[in-house]
Amino acid sequence: MVICPKCQTSLGTINTTATSCDTCGFRPNVSGVIPLFAPNYKLKFEDHSRYSIQNLITHADNHFWMISRRRVITDTVTSFLDEGKSFLEVGSGPGDISKELQNRGLTVTVSDIQIDSLNHAVNHNIGTVVQFDLYHPIYRDHFDAVGAFDVIEHLEDDLTAVKHLLDIVKPGGFVFVTVPAHKWLWNNRDRLENHKRRYSRLGLRKLFEDVGASVINVDYIFFMILPLLLARTIIDLFRRKESFTPKDHENSMNINLTINQLLLKLTMIELSIFRRWSPPVGGTLILTARKHN
């Protein structure tokens, strides 16, 4: 069901663009076709700037990391969900994952706290689009599955965020999450993206178990490029940065074309080798959990 983000009362409708709360009077603003359930988000959320979102959109279909990440996530999600099942992506970024899941037959809703991502989704016909704050969700027991990919590391209160992800899905529904792995890989990119933390495998599992989720898998990805990630961390010890410009965001995804193709081949080889089990270590963690019936 759809619930009021202010008082948590059921709104009694799934038409988020034409609803209001009978209890507290809340009614979402609308930007074009996008209902805004957190219209004042700019006052409190600054992690992803317009520059960083545009950078992700620009590189979604050509950067090895974006391509490999999308492949792992969409393969994982569709291994648990049949065609026609409902899926919500929280923090959609460039929308490439939602677009691929939509192409694979899922009924997709795209959400983000930032309007730039959602405008991109609208312009490219990616799912149903809605804006809300995960700290004040507007869904309860609503979707067959929810995904938050490289999202919760941006949030100070990740425990509350994870609890709300679980609340959003129906009993028996799935939650899929990716996060950056290993505190010892902390680097300038984490500072650029305003990450609050990187996660251990056990720590991520415990985070979900603490809110009552049944954790199915916590797997590593990006094993093949781990030496490069470690080298970046070591180099960044000597070139540490605390402030960043739009040019820094642009440069963060720029990569030599030959090297990009080589790394894409390496990560695809990794996917074929570790199709049925997790690598022993990697730069990213992907978790699959389930809500109890």
Judge whether 11 lies within some domain.
Answer: no
Averaged confidence pLDDT in the chain = 91
Judge whether 106 lies within some domain.
Answer: yes
Q: Are 174 and 126 in contact (CB under 8 A)?
A: no
Interval 85-92 mean pLDDT: 96
Per the structure, the count of domains in the chain is 1
Integer CA distances (angstroms), 85 to 16, 32, 142, in order:
19, 27, 11
Interval 67-80 mean pLDDT: 97
Residue 290: left (phi > 0), alpha (psi -120 to 50), or beta? Answer: beta
pLDDT on residue 75: 96
Judge whether 4 lies within some domain.
Answer: no
Judge whether 17 lies within some domain.
Answer: no
Judge whether 8 lies within some domain.
Answer: no
Q: Report which of 100, 104, 96 is spatially closest to residue 120, judged by C-alpha positions.
A: 96
pLDDT of 185 higher than 90: yes
pTM assigned to the model:
0.94
Distance (Å, rounded) from C-alpha 271 to C-alpha 243?
35
Distance (Å, rounded) from C-alpha 113 to C-alpha 39?
9
* CATH number of 189's domain: 3.40.50.150
> Tokens in use for 174?
């799935």
Integer CA distances (angstroms), 149 to 2, 234, 284, in order:
22, 26, 11
Range of the domain at 74: 33-290
